């Protein structure tokens, strides 16, 4: 690790130790991550489920939306194809998290990014703008393909996020 990276890591650890701006998860070791999209029905639900599945004991995943619409059936279907579950998840409004401190807030669209300003405390914000598969027109097979593509993009991003931030 370079000198600048080491200094940066030391500063982050000081913030975690002092609880200044960033609060660790309940056990003090898991990093809290909030994924936000418009309806909390597809992209943010997928990202939450993927991080829960692949993040192990390093992360605590949450998701929310601007206008919660329930988890889309195709979201559940394409995740189940990879043995990833949304069990225990439900659509939530971003306001439910207004007083919770996160280590990372990840908006998945521009609309969500504008609404993330209400999230408390210091956190690292990472924008992952991903097209909403709900907007794809066509037959059922075309829609299913759009959901699978979104799932695959999110899986790649989540795995990279874990690799870069799971230390």
Question: pLDDT tens, 58-103?
Answer: 999 999 999 999 999 999 999 999 999 999 999 999 999 888 889 9
Domain ranges of the chain: 19-159
For residue range 104-152, list pLDDT tens digits in order. 999 998 887 777 666 767 788 899 999 999 999 999 999 999 999 999 9
Active site residue 21: no
* Average confidence score pLDDT of the chain: 84
Report residue 135: phi and psi, to 5°: -80, -10
Active site residue 106: no
CATH number of 19-159: 3.40.50.2300
Active site residue 26: no
- The catalytically annotated residue of 22, 109, 119, 162 is 109
Cα 138 from chain centroid (whole Å): 28
């Amino acid at each position: 690790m370079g000198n600048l990276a080491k200094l940066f890591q030391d500063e982050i650890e000081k913030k975690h130790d002092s609880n200044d701006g960033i609060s660790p998860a309940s056990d003090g070791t898991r990093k809290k991550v909030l994924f936000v999209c418009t309806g909390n029905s597809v992209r943010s639900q997928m990202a939450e489920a993927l991080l829960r599945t692949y993040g192990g004991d390093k992360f605590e995943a949450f998701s929310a939306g601007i206008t919660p619409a329930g988890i889309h059936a195709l979201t559940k279907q394409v995740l189940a194809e990879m043995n990833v579950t949304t069990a225990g998840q439900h659509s939530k409004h971003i306001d439910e998290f207004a007083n919770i401190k996160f280590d990372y807030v990840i908006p998945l669209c521009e609309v969500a990014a504008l609404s993330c300003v209400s999230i408390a405390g210091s956190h690292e914000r990472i924008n992952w703008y991903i097209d909403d598969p709900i907007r794809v027109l066509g037959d059922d097979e075309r829609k299913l393909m759009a959901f699978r593509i979104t799932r695959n993009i999110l899986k790649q991003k989540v795995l990279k996020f874990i690799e870069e931030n799971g230390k």
